[in-house]
Structure 1
């Protein structure tokens, strides 16, 4: 099945890419969640607008990505959240929470879809998260989760 991606899908591609996937994956996962649309000649004209929107959000070049990675590496990010007596959180920390905390700490505005959390953050303390800034550059941010 030939599809046009509308959002970034890890391991598959970026918005505006035309990909070939198995029928079930496209029909049951990508299309219903709005990650992709069916490829047609008419839909191919939408690719230009999707790519233009992606370019506006995306970090322009490798040099800029390395500069932002340096900023993120030097940043002290603290995130206040509710926690129980034992230090276990009520819920977990999301990528959106981390993006907001980075911005509040004086860092650059990050797209939450580019933040990757290895294991779910469900306890107080310092945790490392990865931010994919560019296909060749990934930064690591230390986030300190404190009770608030």
Structure 2
């Protein structure tokens, strides 16, 4: 058996930075050639600990930035203009890309369209609520006003 420190996530084994004990053949034939792990030694342990501290600091900064941005997004209203009939029914539902474009026009940074969650398809003119996920566990409610194009 050999102790290894994982450099990347390995399914059914562990995450980046984990110290695992594996059979020597698995380490020699799979983990080491693919650069998924390094042998656990004094130097490797120090490097992994330093990388882990850096990763934790980066995650903490990202979450702090996401909380600040969530406060701004929560109070924001964006407007999307789409073609609609006389009854106010849209010819096509509002997409996440259109909401991201409206946020960009309102002065917000570019969001990934996958981070915008529309729980009920927006197919009518009026005010609607959507959720914007900014980081793991941090989300904001956004008001989207849909107007009929003239």
Number of residue pairs matched?
Answer: 102
**Match for residue 85 of structure 2?**
84
1:130 is aligned to: 131
Moved beyond 6 Å, runs of 4+: none
Partner of 1:145: 146
The alpha-carbon distance between structure 1 residues 90 and 60, as it changes in their structure 2 partners (threshold 3 A), is farther
Gaps of 5+ in 1: 1-15, 21-39, 45-57
Partner Cα distance (1:146, 1:43) in 2: 54
**Is 1:113 the counterpart of 2:107 in the alignment?**
no
Structure with the greater alpha carbon radius of gyration = 2
Contact kept? 1:78, 1:105, Cα under 8 Å: no
CA apart distance, 1:18: 5.8
More strand by share: 1
Query: What's the offset of the Cα at 1:101?
Result: 0.6
Q: 1:111 and 1:145 mapped to 2: Cα distance?
A: 21
Mapped to 2, the partners of 1:116 and 1:147 lie a distance apart of: 22
Aligned CA-pair RMSD: 2.7
TM-score (normalised: structure 2) = 0.59
